[in-house]
Amino acid sequence: MDHRIARRVEKLAESATLKMAQIAAQLKASGKDIISLGIGEPDFNTPEHIKNAAIAAINNNITHYPPVSGFPDLRKAIVQKYLRDYGLEYTSSQVVVSSGAKQSISNALLVLLEEGDEIIVPAPYWVSYPDMIKLTDASMVTIQTTVEQGFKITPQQLEAAITPKTRILLLNSPSNPSGSIYSSEDLEAFAVVLRKYPNIYILSDDIYEYINYKCASATIAQCQGMFDRSIIVNGVSKGYAMTGWRIGYMLAPANIAKACDKLQGHLTSAACSISQMAALEALKSDNSSVIKMVEQFRKRRDLVAEKLALIPDIKFQVPDGAFYFFIDISGYFGKSYQNYTINSADIMAEFMLEHGGVSLISGSAFGVDECVRISYAASEVLLLKACDRMKNTLALLK
């Protein structure tokens, strides 16, 4: 029997965040005291009015196949949201609802990229981008950033990375893992560069849109000349604490939306009908529950920043959005304790898990090997305890 697995799958890496979450769960199950700061998920429950809308959908038998691109009412609500919040005029034919923003991004990459194309991706980047891109046979061109520049690329870096093969620029703001935000002024500076290169699309991953502590949300589609070249991806997972409902969506030029509808129709068909009705309720209602959640995230961010400031030899920026700190731990490279010598973020993550009982994610998965990511989507008690453990464990290294 031929036991081969197709090369397209063999070349994919396992998701680092899911892998670390699994290891942490196994250690907990074995009786070890582990504080998990790895998974990127709000620790809040879905608001009651959204859950009730889903229950009503079940009771009303909204349990049959929806249109591939999503229910008309949900797509209309997405159109209205972007008109209200950003002044962008879309039609429902430009909206495709998918089973999570991850599928929306994959759809866009698969319909636009092929072998010989290049996509520009700032680092740090979300862990799944590289492997999604591998499935298209295109090449990923990485732009490196540092904590000193706020983990944000500059217009000069962008222009230097563009070649005749460049097909897409992928932006993620607020960023996972850094929490950095590109302001409207930043995006306009990129648009100045991109107007010189009219064949480049911009794929904007805005899934952390509402978890923003700094400025009014902005998208590059608002910049002159960028609307017809932008693909916006968003969803309800992070802002409404609806990760398990698996609803994401894209707004795109009509031809791209049509192509994504065609692709999705063969791969997964439509997103869950019940989840779509829950998402509709989320988008139609006021954002009072979102505001309360973001206030808690801001409080936790400030608390963690105070604690991290007490740890020597690390560098970090206070994030402007999302719920992560991306910490430069290269000041510990070359230091040792027992059988560990720290020379990479991977080793640091293993060391912290074994000797500190804190699960975090190595920055190598995000394209920056000098950093680790911690999530502060956890209770204040756990965050304080975890920060103390990190400080004490790092103090072991000499």
Cα–Cα nearest to 169, from 145, 133, 134, 135: 133
- Count of H helices and E strands in the chain? 13, 14
| Whether residues 258 and 309 fall in one domain | no
Average model confidence (pLDDT) for the chain?
96
In-domain check, residue 249 = yes
The amino acid that residue 107 corresponds to is: N
Q: Of the candidates 284, 305, 335, which is a domain's last residue?
A: 284
pLDDT value of residue 233: 98
The DSSP string of 16-85 is HHHHHHHHHHHHHHTT---EE------SSPPPHHHHHHHHHHHHTT--SPPPTT--HHHHHHHHHHHHHH
| Whether residues 279 and 305 fall in one domain | no
| Whether residues 115 and 237 fall in one domain | yes
Say how far apart CA 359 and CA 356 lie, in whole Å: 9
The residues, any chain, with a CB within 8 Å of residue 370's CB and separated by 6 or more, are: 328, 329, 330, 333, 345, 363
| Whether residues 41 and 53 fall in one domain | no
Query: Could you tell me where the beta strands, DSSP code E, fall in 281-370?
Result: 324-328, 336-337, 340-341, 358-359, 361-362
pLDDT digits (tens, 9 = 90+) for 250-288: 999 999 999 999 999 999 999 999 999 999 999 999 999
pLDDT-derived band at 83, boundaries 50, 70, 90: very high
| Whether residues 304 and 205 fall in one domain | no
pLDDT at 16 over 70: no
* pLDDT (average), residues 223-238: 98
| Whether residues 312 and 273 fall in one domain | no
Q: Both tokens of residue 136?
A: 């298209």
CA distances from 253 to 44, 66, 97, 158, 250 (A): 34, 22, 14, 23, 10
Which burial class, exposed, middle or buried, applies to 88 when counting CB atoms under 10 A from its CB (0-12, 13-18, 19+)?
Answer: middle
Provide the residue range defining the domain that includes 27: 7-45+289-394
Q: Of the candidates 247, 267, 284, which is a domain's last residue?
A: 284
pLDDT value of residue 216: 85
Say how far apart CA 233 and CA 244 lie, in whole Å: 18
| Whether residues 52 and 153 fall in one domain | yes
pLDDT at 341 over 90: yes
In-domain check, residue 2 = no
Say how far apart CA 62 and CA 57 lie, in whole Å: 5
In-domain check, residue 1 = no
Say how far apart CA 396 and CA 380 lie, in whole Å: 25
Considering its fold, how many domains does the chain have in total? 2
| Whether residues 352 and 328 fall in one domain | yes
Report the 10 Å Cβ neighbour count for 279: 31
SS (H, E, C) 82-122: HHHHHCCCCCHHHEEEECCHHHHHHHHHHHHCCCCCEEEEE
Say how far apart CA 94 and CA 78 lie, in whole Å: 10
Q: Of the candidates 229, 260, 284, which is a domain's last residue?
A: 284
In-domain check, residue 274 = yes
Instruction: Identify the CATH number of the domain in which residue 187 sits.
Output: 3.40.640.10
* pLDDT (average), residues 315-327: 98
Cα–Cα nearest to 13, from 344, 365, 345, 370: 365
Taking the mean position of all CA atoms in its chain, how far away is CA 277? 23
| Whether residues 27 and 173 fall in one domain | no
pLDDT value of residue 38: 87
| Whether residues 132 and 280 fall in one domain | yes
| Whether residues 253 and 323 fall in one domain | no
pLDDT digits (tens, 9 = 90+) for 144-184: 999 999 999 999 999 999 999 999 999 999 999 999 999 99
Measured between its terminal Cα atoms, the distance across the chain in Å is: 53
Cα–Cα nearest to 345, from 354, 332, 336: 332
pLDDT at 127 over 70: yes
Report the 10 Å Cβ neighbour count for 154: 15
| Whether residues 273 and 376 fall in one domain | no
Cα–Cα nearest to 129, from 140, 144, 137, 118: 140
